[in-house]
A = this chain, B = another copy of it.
Amino acid sequence: MNSSLSIQAVVETIRSVLPANRQHVALHEPAFSGNEWTYVKECLDTGWVSSVGKFVDRFEEELASYTGVKRAIAVVNGTAALHVCLLLADVRRDDEVLLPALTFVATANAVSYCGAIPHFVDSDERTLGVNPYKLKCYLEEIADQRPDGCYNRLTGRRIKAVVPMHTFGHPVDLDSLAEICQIFNISLIEDAAESLGSFYKGQHTGQRGLLSALSFNGNKTITTGGGGAILTNDEELGILAKHITTTAKLPHRWEFNHDMIGYNYRLPNINAALGCAQLEKLPEFLVAKRALAERYSNAFTKLPGVRFFSEPANSQSNYWLNTLLLDEGCAWQRDALLAATNDTDIMTRPVWTPMHKLPMFTDCPKMNLSTAESLEQRLINIPSSAMLASGFTNA
């Protein structure tokens, strides 16, 4: 049954939260008000811009410390981080990897790079991430436990891993997913590309996966230009992750020996320098972003047909991208709302096209995806930069 909301009222409500003096409001833009300039200049002045340098080491140490893992390995971007997480979790050619249909394409692409097959699972409207209950029911139906792992009885392929993604920074229900992974003998890898600064039951996201991936793309909560990181609590996997992302070269005074097929995925020192400065500002960004989210939340309480998506129970979200959910009856107005906001230079966007609808993944296995498809019709991201809150967080 179609109902309707006032497009004009939604636009005005968004505008009421934003600073008055802004002409063009981006979805998410970075702020370089700290030591970015100083650290980058140090790289140029010393000549250490490339694959080795003190900012890479420092960035890795500080990331590990902030996220509470034993080891963080800086890489060129979140996609590379995901790829290496999967490789080190022993995802092999023709394995299946469970992942949400509702994610950025990098999650599914990384599975493909391993020669493995993405297998799409449905979302939970409470977290926007993988629905553990639906996943458990589904696995009870299709899983065939064998000595060497969990198999999909429909395809005959091994199901090696599940990669939940913390959508727009909102943590998935990690306890339930970890339990399912244990029951079914499947590895847990967290796609934490969007959730730096997000906590689940007091623990930073990315701690529960065998390995996890972060992203520092230009649109993320902090940025290194392009960049990412692998997180792990397994010391051996951490050492291996560093080795395989730096061409698997064996240390020697002059010889060039490599002991496995490696990757050139290391983050350049100049990008890590940016990361160190951004990490110093992260607590401030998080305060600002939560303040902005709170203002949106308050502003949208009384508007019919739409609601502001708030962090799930037991979680503290970074509110990377603020999210509106239209009521089901108002889904038909999504594109009109996207047009109205973008037409007035308030940048908004829908969620990603679910993976099973992209041509290269249409033949991949999937469960019933009714919630993902409903969210696709109803979800809109609205401006979320930390700087949009600067006017009132310092008050």
Q: Which A residues fall within an 8 A CB radius of B?
A: 29-32, 36-37, 40-41, 43-45, 47-52, 76-80, 104-106, 109, 112-113, 115, 217-219, 223-226, 247-249, 253-264, 266-271, 274, 338, 342, 348-353, 358-360
Contacts and interface: CB of A to CB of B under 8 A. Distances in A.
A39 to B, nearest CB: 11
Contact of A44 (B36, B106, B267): B36
Given A76-B226, A253-B342, A270-B225, A261 B50 contact: no
21 contacts: A32-B44, A32-B45, A49-B223, A50-B217, A51-B226, A52-B218, A78-B264, A79-B264, A105-B256, A109-B261, A109-B262, A109-B264, A113-B113, A218-B268, A254-B342, A255-B350, A257-B353, A257-B358, A258-B353, A258-B358, A268-B271
A29 B47 contact: yes
B348 A254 contact: yes
A224 B270 CA distance: 9
A79 B52 CA distance: 17
Stoichiometry, as copies per complex, reads 2
Contacts of A36: 44
Given A49-B274, A105-B258, A270-B274, 9 more contacts: A30-B49, A30-B50, A32-B45, A76-B76, A106-B247, A109-B263, A258-B360, A259-B359, A260-B359
Main secondary structure on A side of the interface with B: loop
The 3 closest A-B pairs by CB, nearest first: A50-B218, A225-B268, A79-B264
B32 A263 contact: no
Given A30-B49, A50-B219, A268-B271, A254 B338 contact: yes
Contacts of A358: 257-259
Contacts of A44: 32, 36-37, 40
A223 to B, nearest CB: 6
Nearest to A380: B254
Contacts of A52: 218
Given A226-B268, A359-B260, A30 B51 contact: no
Give the most central of A29, A225, A249, A358: most B CB within 10 Å.
Answer: A225
A378 B114 CA distance: 39
Contacts of A219: 50
Given A41-B37, A218-B49, A225-B271, A115 B115 contact: yes
